[in-house]
Amino acid sequence: MRPRRLEIAAFGPFAGTETVDFDGLAEAGLFLVSGPTGAG
């Protein structure tokens, strides 16, 4: 199984809805989802 999309709302410092499209990132083969230290 492979995640295709992640959608989160009101998560940590993000008040709205944030979406990560993993299909768009898959061509790179390796990717990192990160944020500033202390952001959540």
**Average pLDDT rounded to a whole number, residues 15-33:** 82
**Average pLDDT rounded to a whole number, residues 16-24:** 87
φ and ψ at residue 33, rounded to 5 degrees: -105, 115
| Alpha carbon distance 23, 34 (integer Å) | 17
Give percent of the chain above pLDDT 70. Answer: 90
Q: Tell me the two tokens of residue 10.
A: 């009101």
pLDDT for 5-19, tens place per residue? 989 999 877 789 989
Q: Tell me the two tokens of residue 5.
A: 């999309």
- pLDDT higher than 70, residue 38: no
- pLDDT higher than 60, residue 40: no
The answer, as to whether pTM is greater than 0.85, is no
Task: Give the closest residue to 38 by CA, choosing from 8, 9, 13.
Answer: 13
Domain ranges for the chain: 1-30
